[in-house]
A and B are shown apart, each in its own frame.
Chain A
Amino acid sequence: MAEVSTARRGVNARSRRRLNVVRGVIFVVLGLFFLVPLYSMAEFTTRGAGAQAHRSLDAWRAIVSYPDLTRALLISLELAAITSIALLALLLPTLVWVRLRLPRLRRVIEFLCLLPLAIPAIVLVVGLAPIYLWVTYFFGDSSLTLAFAYAVLVLPYASRALDAGLSAIDVATLSEAARSLGAGWPTVIFRVIVPNMSGALLNAGLLSVALVLGEFTIASLLNYTNLQVAINMLGRENAGVSIAVALGSLLFAFVLLVAISVVGARRHGARTVEEG
């Protein structure tokens, strides 16, 4: 008996070790796949002018000397914030309502939400252009009006994330329990549903932010300047600086992602820790 179990433990240990090796290899390969371009970018931006020049951070320092660029960066950040907040504020009550009151419309809504995924950006722009005549008429010709187009663009991702979050809880019973205890609909959504799907909300928000920060096509075709458009224009003039900004925005998105998931994990952890 003892021998058998030792032997089995030996086999287990061996296969586990093999698994670890495979994991390690995959990790390293993927890491290289992501890191090499980033490293190349970093290397490029720190190359000094001339063949024999020393490493320098001139390109990075130069970023601030392009006011257009900082303005575009701010616009992109504002767009990201506006898009994600507006979309969540619109989408969450809608999805909850459809789930509770119009379950027959669920497939239709799902289809509508996924539609932007199936339509190429360029086609989207063709449709958006005439609408933007009205948008600029009502809201002025600000780059922030891109938030409308971006909300549509982000819709498939955000709705998927929220739908998954809603499926994970018993929305109907929880909201009925809350209502019978005296909660109105806003209370139901903010005190009962939102706290129980904070993970999904973070995901949806993060996806929106990442998408908006990286968007180029629609902004460019509609003649607005966002971060990516500005980077592209700058690239023709000063490649070093444009790459520096691109790398910076990538790192920013990465830091944001990690920060949000850490915050999410911490909040969840606080809830489960006191088990003992």
Chain B
Amino acid sequence: MTEVQVSAPTTTRAGVEVRLEDLQRRYGTVTALDGLSLTMEPGELVALLGPSGCGKTTALRLVAGLEDADSGRIVVGGKDVTGLPANRRDMGMVFQAYSLFPNMTARQNVAFGLRLRGVGAGERTKRAGEMLELVGLSAQSDRYAHQMSGGQQQRVALARALAIRPTVLLLDEPLSALDARVRAQLRDEIRRVQLEVGTTTLFVTHDQEEALAIADRVGVMRAGRLEQLGSPSDVYARPRTPFVAEFVGLSNRLAGHVNGGTVDILGLRLPLVDPTTPDGGVTAIVRPEAVGLRNVPDDTGQDALVGTVVATAFLGAISRVTVDLGGGALVLAQLPTSEAADHPAGSRVRLTLRPDPVLVTPLAVGEAAGVTA
């Protein structure tokens, strides 16, 4: 009677499609979600990326059923789950805060959801064991939360969420409490496990590197709605809006002038992402890796492209060089470290710009040139 359909170990439950349709959520006067729509393909990992307070957690909690939408629908595998309470949605969730039940061992934690589903004791232990093995923690299965490191706890939480074979896996900044090394390692592990299990996954983060590294598609959010949804390389290389360009990766903001489908920046003529941009003054957004440097003699006369190196940030294989173009206008150039060594602080350099299509925005006052992170 308590017999439960049990499939092969670490089964692949083919992921299901998940659709968020025009979700609205207000807290008093704050609009946390303002018409969020997003369709996730079966088995896909979508990362929601955005600045603090843009509604990422709210979106996740609505999908999980921990919070109710004011309007809009959530459809999972063709079924409308908008009205279902959290405990009947079959979704696995990993939280930002450590969330293991302190009175249970790792194994008992993982088995908890199975127990609620009436899975027999033997089967429960077996499946919990498999899940712990999947996250590489078999040796720790009899430990309590306080006997494990943060990274181990989050891995157990992942195993616990996956043990119930959820329709959807929801991860809310599960790595933010961990240090950088463990974070990168666990990030890759989450991706490996997710690919292995094949569960449709929504991963929330404000760390762009994390999002780009792990996701099939990245959704950049701003003020409660999706600004752009695309593959990591798409979002990085072809940002649709200046906000996305600035949020994903570093960018230089340079004054430019659009003229007949091309843009003049610092006297150089470059193609536009959108050739239909009307003529006039604009702010152009240029990636640091599109900027190159060439040494020039110290007595080179002033010219729009000539400046002085003021600082170099060493980042391992690459370095980021800050150039002062005069008048306080700073430009970042990202170079291989060996090349950056040729331009010590104080040296005079001439900028070169790679002829990639450039994204521009209407010129804002006081934003003539500068760097934004």
- Residues in B with CB closer than 8 Å to A272 are 144
Q: Is there contact, CB below 8 Å, between A182 and B102?
A: no
Q: Does A58 contact B (CB under 8 A)?
A: no
Partner of B116, one of A174, A183, A274: A183
Chain A, 184-210, contact with B by CB distance < 8 Å: what is the 0/1 string? Answer: 100100011001100000000000000
Chain B, 69-93, contact with A by CB distance < 8 Å: what is the 0/1 string? Answer: 0000000000000000111111111
Partner of A182, one of B90, B103, B170: B90
- Residues in A with CB closer than 8 Å to B164 are 181-182
Q: How far is the CA of A195 from the CA of B112 in the complex (A)?
A: 14
Interface set, chain B 268-318, CB cutoff 8 A to A: none
Interface set, chain B 26-73, CB cutoff 8 A to A: 64-66
Q: Contacts A173-B97, A173-B99, A275-B147 hold; do A178 and B91 have CB atoms under 8 A apart?
A: no
- Residues in B with CB closer than 8 Å to A176 are 64, 66, 86, 93, 95, 99
Q: Does B101 contact A (CB under 8 A)?
A: yes
Q: Is there contact, CB below 8 Å, between A182 and B66?
A: no
Q: Is there contact, CB below 8 Å, between B93 and A177?
A: yes
Q: Is there contact, CB below 8 Å, between A178 and B112?
A: yes
Chain A, 168-181, contact with B by CB distance < 8 Å: what is the 0/1 string? Answer: 01100110111111
Interface set, chain A 6-37, CB cutoff 8 A to B: none
Q: Is there contact, CB below 8 Å, between A179 and B87?
A: yes
Interface set, chain B 137-161, CB cutoff 8 A to A: 142, 144, 147, 157, 160-161
- Residues in A with CB closer than 8 Å to B97 are 170, 173
Q: How far is the CA of A170 from the CA of B88 in the complex (A)?
A: 23
Q: Does A61 contact B (CB under 8 A)?
A: no
Residue of B nearest to A180 (CB): B93
Q: How far is the CB of B150 from chain A (nearest CB, A)?
A: 14
Q: How far is the CB of B87 from chain A (nearest CB, A)?
A: 5
Q: How far is the CA of A155 from the CA of B26 in the complex (A)?
A: 37
Q: How far is the CA of A181 from the CA of B86 in the complex (A)?
A: 8
Q: Is there contact, CB below 8 Å, between A195 and B86?
A: no
Q: Contacts A176-B66, A271-B144, A274-B142 hold; do A181 and B116 have CB atoms under 8 A apart?
A: yes
- Residues in A with CB closer than 8 Å to B102 are 169, 196
- Residues in A with CB closer than 8 Å to B86 are 176, 179-180
Q: Is there contact, CB below 8 Å, between A192 and B101?
A: yes
Q: Does B117 contact A (CB under 8 A)?
A: yes
Q: How far is the CA of A181 from the CA of B88 in the complex (A)?
A: 9
Chain B, 247-268, contact with A by CB distance < 8 Å: what is the 0/1 string? Answer: 0000000000000000000000
- Residues in A with CB closer than 8 Å to B64 are 176, 180
Q: Is there contact, CB below 8 Å, between B93 and A182?
A: no
Interface residues on B, range: 20 to 34
Q: Is there contact, CB below 8 Å, between A183 and B95?
A: no
Q: Contacts A177-B93, A271-B144 hold; do A182 and B99 have CB atoms under 8 A apart?
A: no
- Residues in A with CB closer than 8 Å to B90 are 182
- Residues in B with CB closer than 8 Å to A177 are 93, 95, 99, 101, 157, 160
Residue of B nearest to A194 (CB): B103
- Residues in A with CB closer than 8 Å to B88 are 182
Q: How far is the CA of A142 from the CA of B102 in the complex (A)?
A: 43
Q: How far is the CB of A173 from chain B (nearest CB, A)?
A: 5
Q: Is there contact, CB below 8 Å, between A180 and B147?
A: no
Q: Is there contact, CB below 8 Å, between B103 and A181?
A: no
Q: How far is the CA of A192 from the CA of B102 in the complex (A)?
A: 9
Residue of A nearest to B170 (CB): A180
Q: Is there contact, CB below 8 Å, between A195 and B99?
A: no
Interface set, chain A 62-118, CB cutoff 8 A to B: none
Interface set, chain B 103-118, CB cutoff 8 A to A: 103, 112-113, 116-117
Q: Is there contact, CB below 8 Å, between A182 and B116?
A: yes
Q: How far is the CB of B22 from chain A (nearest CB, A)?
A: 24
Q: Contacts A173-B95, A176-B66, A177-B99 hold; do A184 and B87 have CB atoms under 8 A apart?
A: yes
Q: How far is the CA of A173 from the CA of B93 in the complex (A)?
A: 11
Chain B, 111-127, contact with A by CB distance < 8 Å: what is the 0/1 string? Answer: 01100110000000000
Q: Is there contact, CB below 8 Å, between B144 and A180?
A: no
Q: How far is the CA of A178 from the CA of B65 in the complex (A)?
A: 13
Q: How far is the CA of A29 from the CA of B286 in the complex (A)?
A: 79
Q: Is there contact, CB below 8 Å, between A183 and B87?
A: yes
Q: How far is the CA of A195 from the CA of B104 in the complex (A)?
A: 9
Q: Contacts A170-B97, A174-B99, A196-B102 hold; do A179 and B66 have CB atoms under 8 A apart?
A: yes
Q: How far is the CA of A173 from the CA of B113 in the complex (A)?
A: 16
- Residues in B with CB closer than 8 Å to A173 are 95, 97-99
- Residues in B with CB closer than 8 Å to A275 are 147
Partner of B117, one of A169, A180, A182, A184: A182
Q: How far is the CB of B364 from chain A (nearest CB, A)?
A: 40
Q: How far is the CA of A195 from the CA of B108 in the complex (A)?
A: 14
Q: Is there contact, CB below 8 Å, between A196 and B87?
A: no
- Which of B88, B116, B160 is the most central at the interface, judged by chain A CB atoms within 10 Å of its CB? B116
- Residues in A with CB closer than 8 Å to B91 are 180
Residue of B nearest to A172 (CB): B97
Q: How far is the CA of A174 from the CA of B98 in the complex (A)?
A: 9
Residue of B nearest to A169 (CB): B102
Q: A176-B99, A179-B86 are in contact. List 5 more A-B contacts (CB 8 A).
A: A173-B99, A180-B161, A181-B161, A183-B87, A183-B116
| Partner-A contacts on B (CB < 8 A) | 64-66, 85-93, 95, 97-99, 101-103, 112-113, 116-117, 142, 144, 147, 157, 160-161, 164, 170
Pairs across A and B, CB under 8 Å, 7 listed: A177-B93, A177-B101, A177-B160, A180-B92, A181-B92, A181-B112, A181-B161
- The 8 residue pairs across chains A and B that have the minimum distance between CB atoms: A181-B113, A177-B99, A195-B103, A180-B93, A179-B86, A182-B116, A173-B99, A173-B97
